[in-house]
Amino acid sequence: MSRVIRPGFLTLLGLIWLAPVYLLVANASKPAELYDPARVWAPLSDFALVDNMRDAWQKAQLGDSIPSSLLYSTTAPLTAVVLGAAIGFAIVALRLRHGFLWFVFTFGSTIFPLQMILMPLFIGYANTGLYDTRTGMYLVYTAISVPFAAFLMRNFFTGVSYSVFEAAVIDGASTWRIFWRIYLPLAKSALSAIFILQATFIWNDLLLGLTLSQSDDVRPIMPALTSLQSTYGGSALPTVLAGGLLVSLPTVALFLATQRLFARGLALGQS
């Protein structure tokens, strides 16, 4: 009996999970002029997904924001994983004095909701000339990515035997060389998982992009997408949905291309 109930239950859960995906694709593929809010579950009639995507691309000027989003979602997570690994290495391998307090100080910054610091962050950016600059966006995305990276890397390096560090020191390796040539290669899968998670978060960020940028060539792609839903003259819902589907394709492709590496990284590098 369980052989029937369990697959059936899992199938039901899968269908429930796929229902929003169906609604997104089905309504994004409908011609804008024929869209009817009362028939959102109706199957496709005319397939207009490509036309709606093209319309969203042009109206939201997504081509101007893609280079910025690619820059932020690659450089900021890359910097964060290196800094996080360095923090974890210093606390665990170097046995930094009061290491746990340093760890709490680093990770404790995440206890405050992002909304609480938006106004002080905006004022600080305005006063220092970082507002609406790519440098400012890179710095803030790096800063919010480091605590999570440090948390995971500290946990990972805790599982690495301290004798590895001692043996390298006896062989005459410097601390810098031990970190770059031994510990970082050991943590490759964990670093990759952190990078993928943070890159996805930054690519999908809306709040920071809306608050700290306004120029087309500085703001990330998600704030650019919101221009489709302006109060006056907003685009039809199929165009908005098609734009959302379009900008989500890079993160979907990233997960599909790195799913095995990401799965190993979730286990902190242990296969």
Token pair 């990276």: residue: 149
Cβ atoms 55, 244 nearer than 8 A: no
Which 8-state DSSP code applies to residue 112? Answer: S
> For the residues 238-251, what does the mean pLDDT come to?
89
pLDDT of 98 above 90: no
Exposed e or buried b per residue across 74-104, where buried means at least 16 C-beta atoms within 10 angstroms of its C-beta:
ebbbbbbbbbbbbbbbbbbbeeeeebeebbe
Nearest to 188 by CA among 270, 106, 123, 114: 270
| Radius of gyration from C-alpha coordinates of the chain | 23
Q: What is the mean pLDDT of residues 113-131?
A: 91
Residue ranges of the domains in the chain? 54-266
pLDDT above 70 (res 234): no
pLDDT beyond 50 at 231: no
Give the count of beta carbons closer than 10 Å to the beta carbon of residue 196: 20
Distance between CA 100 and CA 79 in Å, rounded?
22
d(CA 112, CA 150): 17
Report pLDDT digits (tens) over 80-92. Answer: 999 999 999 998 8
The structure tokens 């960020």 sit at 205
CATH 1.10.3720.10 is right for the domain spanning 54-266: yes
**What are the residue ranges of helices labelled H in the chain?**
2-28, 49-60, 62-92, 99-107, 114-128, 134-158, 162-170, 175-178, 184-186, 188-203, 207-212, 221-225, 237-257, 259-266
Cut 0.95: pTM above it: no
- Residue 137 CA to chain centroid, in angstroms? 14
pLDDT tens column, 22-40: 888 888 888 888 788 888 8
- Is the model's pLDDT at 136 over the cut of 90? yes
Residue 77 pLDDT greater than 90, yes or no: yes
At 37-49, the pLDDT tens digits run 888 888 777 788 8
Which of these, 22, 76, 78, 66, lies nearest to 250 by C-alpha position? 66
**b/e burial code for range 227-260 (CB count within 10 A of at least 16 → b):** bbeeeeeebbbbbbbbbebbbeebbeebeeeeee
Burial tier of 209 (Cβ tally within 10 Å: 0-12, 13-18, 19+): buried
